[in-house]
Structure 1
């Protein structure tokens, strides 16, 4: 009977430690993209749009540097999918250009040319 209790307790401990390990990686990855964002409206569009992407826990655009920082779960998405999501919102992500159709639908103030004075 003692060995059954010891076995059950050991099994429980292994299960709990496995669960804790699996959770430790959640939202643990970060990627940064240099974007073509130019205004506060771009910030809102990118942050809100990325919030709908699977695996993304947080997206923040620094308007001064135009760098979008994304925290994500690497088991649910990857950098290529996140870059495509930024492009599909109408913005460049590093050297990857915005999807033309999405870019054309942006407000005039959000287009790259609007940022050039």
Structure 2
């Protein structure tokens, strides 16, 4: 569900050609046309749906709406 959400949201961006998210390794690969969409726009889309990416933090309201399985485990 989590990877699907990220992949589907990014595929909606004009200029994004391919998206692959690997939750196990906490990584992803995005192939995009840089003359149409830039990395910052892609990162902003990811944070806007509740996920951290690179050095950008998730939108807290979007994060709170995520399914429990998509949230980071709480630290003790």
TM-score (norm 1): 0.60
Greater relative contact order (Cα 8 A, min sep 6): structure 1 or 2? 1
Query: Which position in structure 2 is the counterpart of 1:89?
Result: 49
Q: CA deviation at 1:52?
A: 0.5
**Cα distance in structure 2, aligned partners of 1:53 and 1:89:** 13
Query: Which position in structure 2 is the counterpart of 1:107?
Result: 67
Aligned length: 75
Give the CA RMSD over aligned residues.
1.4
Query: Which position in structure 1 is the counterpart of 2:21?
Result: 61
Name segments (4+ residues, structure 1) moved above 6 Å: none
Structure with the bigger percentage of helix: 1
Larger Cα-atom Rg: 1
Query: Which position in structure 2 is the counterpart of 1:32?
Result: none
Give deviations 1:31-59, integer Å, cap 9, x for gaps: xxxxxxxxxx1111111111111211111
